[in-house]
Amino acid sequence: MKRNFYIITCLFLIMITGCKKNTITQISQPATGAQLRFIQAIPGLPAVDEYVNDKKISPQQNVGLTDNLKPTSIITGITYPAAFNTATQYGGLYPGGTSVNYALVASGNATIKIATSTPVPALVSPQTAAPNTTVVSLTSSLAERGTYSLFTIGYPDKPGSIFVEDKFPTADMTKIYVRFGNFIPNSPALDVTGVYTAAGATTATTLTPFTSITANTLTDFLPIDANAVGTTGYTFQLYLAGTSTKVGAVTKAINMAPGRYYTIMANGLYADYVVGTTGITLKATARPTKPTDPNSLLPEIYFNPPGISYFTTK
């Protein structure tokens, strides 16, 4: 009997010891640190990398492009998207997935740097910035469990940034929450309309949630209408403030869920722009597609027509 008791006791102790060495962290357990999202919104800038306290946190990716009048592909960093007005989430951000909205970083004082990536293989065609050029560098105190967004804005030769702590209004599950960033650096003030058809309705409803938003400005989140069940398909259009003059094309329908938070952005250029001493002219039009047009093989980043993009913030 004593022998059996001894064996059972030993097995029990082994089980306890094993559990201590292999504790499983449940997904529901909150992670510690701050949350950070980066959005590259400078038209014409080559791909970039993100660093926090001198540690690179953004991934590399394989990108197809045109270089020296020839199609090729490179391994590089976060790129500026080539097209807007789609129902696809904005491509020039990190993290880039819809299921992971923020990267987890250590809380406390942090130096965040955005620098141009070093592509492999090296590009031959002229670029608006050399590899490993610091675009933005800032220092901020990141609060435990704080959520932050960093936007790089402006021009390749005149970069700037907007760094904000994301403040989310208490969710009303009958509303969708949106904010708007006018990141067309040379645009006049803009209005933004949103059009949707309510469930059961036969006619569309037009809202103008944002008016007279100047260039390089980011608004706070505000509520807009949502269907009571399921998602609401919104199309968005830019206008010159106070007019019926459209800027860019209307978006495809973006399906938005009640109680969620979205960032809507104006991207591209309103007019052509010559980048500093490089002599490169960034065009506010789409790249030609006819093979007989030599401009159809120029680098994609030279062409930046205005448009709207979005990403799910929370």
Amino acid identity of residue 100, one-letter, is V
pLDDT of residue 5: 43
pLDDT of residue 28: 35
pLDDT of residue 99: 65
Q: What is the DSSP string of 95-144?
A: S--SS--SEEE-SEEEEEEEEE---BSPP-S--SS-TT-EEEEEEEEEPT
Beta bridge partners of 138: 112
Residue spans of alpha helices (H) in the chain: 2-21
User: Beta strand pairing status for 61-67 and 246-247?
Assistant: unpaired
Buried b / exposed e along 203-220 (16+ C-beta atoms within 10 A): eeeeeebbeebebbbbbe
User: Beta strand pairing status for 134-142 and 108-116?
Assistant: antiparallel
CB distance 127 to 83 below 8 Å: no
- Residue 312 makes CB contacts below 8 A (sequence gap 6+) with 89, 98, 101, 260, 261, 262
CB distance 280 to 302 below 8 Å: yes
Q: Which residues of the chain have pLDDT under 70?
A: 1-31, 98-99
Amino acid identity of residue 285, one-letter, is T
Confidence (pTM): 0.88
**Digit-coded pLDDT (tens) for 73-120:** 999 999 998 878 888 889 999 998 766 789 999 999 999 999 999 999
The Cα–Cα gap between 90 and 97 comes to 10
**Digit-coded pLDDT (tens) for 277-313:** 899 999 999 999 898 998 888 999 999 999 999 999 9
pLDDT of residue 96: 85
Q: Where are the domains of the chain?
A: 34-312
Q: How many Cβ atoms are within 10 Å of 292's Cβ, its own excluded?
A: 6
